[in-house]
Structure 1
């Protein structure tokens, strides 16, 4: 069986956001299980990101595809991390 290529997740969040922290904590087991990488970006550091994601944070993106916001959609994230191809 061939290993799947590692996926890259991007979590758009805010430092003071409790939903963002909850999503990040909930993602940790999935990141470990699939060997994915997780990049956390503070939207408040970039006005363009504030304009795009402001009231939606946390927003989770996998290689350009938005998977969920506010709460982790574990099934959707698991499916994205498990799909073949990169």
Structure 2
């Protein structure tokens, strides 16, 4: 089974992003996935796309949650993904 990739879109000085990253790091202890963190400020396109939504969590290209990130929603998404293999 291939590892899922979780992408966290964030920017500096973003307290919600810091909270989201903490939750994701905790989730990494339960689920085996690759974490990729992308600072939207490095791309005008990403800033335009996600500007007011960050943090945004995407798993294998599918947007799962944005803004207020919570443990349960992300965990449920991984649970669903593991069933589909």
TM-score scaled by length of structure 2: 0.86
- Kept in 1: contact 2:20–2:70 (CA 8 A): no
Pick one of 36, 39, 56 that aligns with 1:39. Answer: 36
Aligned twin of 1:67: 64
Q: Which runs of 5 or more residues in structure 1 are unaligned?
A: none
Instruction: Map 1:1-86 to 2 at 5 A.
Output: 5-82=2-79, 83-84=81-82, 85=84
- Kept in 1: contact 2:23–2:70 (CA 8 A): no
TM-score scaled by length of structure 1: 0.85
Cα distance in 2 for residues equivalent to 1:27 and 1:71: 12
With 67-76 and 14-23 compared, the bigger mean Cα shift is at 67-76
Q: How many equivalent residue pairs?
A: 83
1:36-83 alpha-carbon deviations (Å, 9 max, x no partner): 111110000000000100011100001111111111132221122222
- Which stretches of structure 1, 4 residues or longer, exceed 2 Å deviation after superposition? 73-76, 82-86
